[in-house]
Chains A and B, each alone.
Chain A
Amino acid sequence: MLRLDHVTKHFGGVKAVDDVSLCFKEREISAIIGPNGAGKTTIFNLINGFLRPDSGEILFKTKPITGLPPRRIASCGMGRMFQDNRNFGTLTCLENILLAKKGNPGENPLNSFFAPGKVRRFENSNLKDARKWLDFVDLPNMENVPAGNLSYGQQKLLAFARLMAAEPEFLLLDEPSAGVNPTMIGHILNLIKRIVNDEGKTVVLIEHDMSVILKVTDLVYFMDDGRVRTFGTPEDVLADKRVHEAYLGI
């Protein structure tokens, strides 16, 4: 589904990502783990096009996407959830989700004047879907609340719903469990499992919470200092001596 071939990225003199090759299979949940500064988020930035690799190639559904602008990569079916909560704070929850759908004819201002019927029809079906996603993440009463007024956990759910409404095939989730209480984590994990099993999506997580890794992932990459040190099933990787050293300093 997604392959990174010998990808390298420098910042000044620092090699943030150094000759990394990764492979993510369809309908699997994979995770990238590693200490802070290992280059995990940089990998996400390279995949979704915010950064351009210095060398190496990234293939998505066997097509090269290296160096394409982020919006093009997004329209190929790549979705991303950010580490910190990022929502459109002044828009309501419903608007946040309505935005996500691709190919909205109403986004061309001319259509509002010359093809209002087309815009209305799309908007009606979009509204139905948006409400469905709000229900899916359990935020049904928040439709008209500005996203900026939600609690941290709720914002995370909203970001997740918006991501789903964009209908990506491939989801990059940067620390979905960080800063969220345990019940909410359970809720989010359930959602992730559901979208993989029921909707056939592919998910890559960056995660620090080992219980999350053990619960949901099929494949784990361990990174340190911009390189992949080991990979395999979660049980194998967490048993690895180097992983222990990096996390516990022994």
Chain B
Amino acid sequence: MIWQYIVNGLCAGALFGLTALGLSLIYNVTNVFHFAHGAVYTSAAYLLFLFACKTSIGAAPATILALTLAILLGVLMDRFFYAPLPAGVRRTVPIITSFGIYIVIVNLIALGFGNDTQILHPGVEKTFEIGPVIVTRIQAIQASVFALLFLLTALLLKFSRYGRLIRAVSDNRKLAEALGLDIKKARLLAFSYGSGLAAAAACLSALETGMDPYMGLAATLSAVVAMIFGGVRVFAAAAVGGVMLGVIQSLVTWQTSARWQSAVTFAILLVVLIFRPQGLFGAKKRLEEQ
């Protein structure tokens, strides 16, 4: 029994991990706490719904179109709302702005598609039995997409020119600026790649449980907890934190009931913030940097 819950948790956590990884990229590079990430997430799911169910272009082109438009949305948010904010502005401003963007987009979606849950993929899922555990086809896809994107992101960050740029800017923006690195390009990369990861997670989630306009906030809040839990300054930690959070939530459901999931999630956030603000895998900042 416990293995079933762990596997379910791993698959749910894979989605948190993707969203959190995107959020972490954006946060580290731009210092924006991007709650409107949730709007990108919701939009991706609804775009997929729009293209896959209302047109006849086929599943693969619909997915590609949805991902591309969601990425564009994320980039435009930065271009028009975050990038013009002056450096050194109180952090309150980008946070409230991002909530404003989130509210506007999500309510536009609700106006267009209604507040109710939409189902993308009706019917019974094919399942596999691996030992004592039952895995649905979608769960298998979720887990493998996560593994693939996680590896790809790690490789890109480590070895590609753009990955090095992102790491340099997030490590020390002032220094990177002084060295003449292209900060604008780093922002563009972070927002596009980060939004892409969230959009992928949204599409996978929509396949499994459908969508409603408010799915993005829940996903983003979980991603925030995952990012803080794992460690803000380490990209991989956000993804791992997401997977761990998924497993913990699933085990809470097993032991008590699903209603206590969010209470436990936010209790974790509080405990981590108070006792280990650098996260599980984050190193403590040196005193001079504080």
Name the interface residues of B192-234: CB closer than 8 Å to any CB of A. none
The reply to whether the CB of B259 lies closer than 8 angstroms to some CB of chain A is: no
Instruction: Let me know if A11 is at the binding interface, CB within 8 A.
Output: yes
- Does B288 interact with chain A (Cβ within 8 Å)? yes
Determine the chain A residues whose CB is within 8 A of the CB of B288 once the complex forms.
Answer: 11-12
B residues 273-290 with Cβ under 8 Å of A? 286-288
A-B contact count (CB 8 A): 6
Q: B288's closest neighbor in chain A, by CB? A: A11
B288 → A minimal CB distance (Å): 5
Q: Does more than half of chain B's interface fall in helix, strand or loop, or is it mixed?
A: helix
- Chain B residues contacting A12 (CB-CB under 8 Å) are 286-288
Chain B interface size, as a band, is under 10
- Bound-state CA distance A27–B99 (Å) is 57
Residues in B whose Cβ lies below 8 Å from that of A11: 286-288
> How far, in angstroms, from A11 to B286 measured CA to CA in the complex?
8
Interface residue ranges of A1-36 to B (CB < 8 Å): 11-12
| Residues on A with beta carbons closer than 8 Å to the beta carbon of B287 | 11-12
The residue on B at minimum CB distance from A9 is B287
Q: Which residue of A lies closest to B286 (CB)?
A: A12
- Interchain CA distance A12-B288 in the complex, whole Å: 9
The CA-CA distance from A12 to B284 in the complex, in Å, is: 12
Tell me the bound Cα distance from A12 to B286 in angstroms. Answer: 7
* List of A residues within 8 angstroms of B286 by Cβ: 11-12
CA distance A180 to B288 in the complex (A): 28
Q: Smallest distance from the beta carbon of B222 to chain A beta carbons, Å?
A: 35
**CB-CB nearest in chain B for A16:** B288
Who on chain B is nearest to A51 by CB? B287
CA gap between A12 and B289 in the complex, in Å: 11
C-alpha gap A9/B288 in the complex (Å): 12
For the complex, give the distance between the alpha carbons of A235 and B287 in Å: 37
Given the complex of chains A and B, what is the CA–CA distance between A187 and B287 in angstroms?
37
Chain A residue at smallest Cβ distance from B287: A11
Min CB–CB distance B51 → chain A (angstroms): 50
- Chain A nearest CB, measured from B271 CB (Å): 25
Per the bound structure, the CA–CA distance linking A141 and B287 in Å amounts to 42
Task: Tell me the smallest distance from the CB of B64 to a CB of chain A, in Å.
Answer: 48
Residues from 238 to 290 in B contacting A, C-beta threshold 8 Å: 286-288
Docked pose: A40 CA to B285 CA in angstroms: 23
A81, B116: Cα distance in complex, Å: 61
- Give the docked Cα–Cα distance between A176 and B286 (Å): 29
* Closest-CB distance, A139 to chain B (whole angstroms): 27
Q: Which residue of B lies closest to A12 (CB)?
A: B286
CA distance A11 to B290 in the complex (A): 12
Cα–Cα, bound, A111→B287 (Å): 39
| C-alpha gap A11/B288 in the complex (Å) | 7
B166 to chain A, nearest CB (A): 26
Complex CA–CA separation, A84 to B286 (angstroms):
23
CB distance from B255 to the nearest CB of A (A): 43
Residues of A within 8 A of B (CB): 11-12
The 4 A-B residue pairs whose C-beta atoms are closest, nearest first, are: A11-B288, A12-B286, A11-B287, A11-B286
Q: Please, could you name 6 A-B residue pairs with CB atoms under 8 Å apart, sorted by A?
A: A11-B286, A11-B287, A11-B288, A12-B286, A12-B287, A12-B288
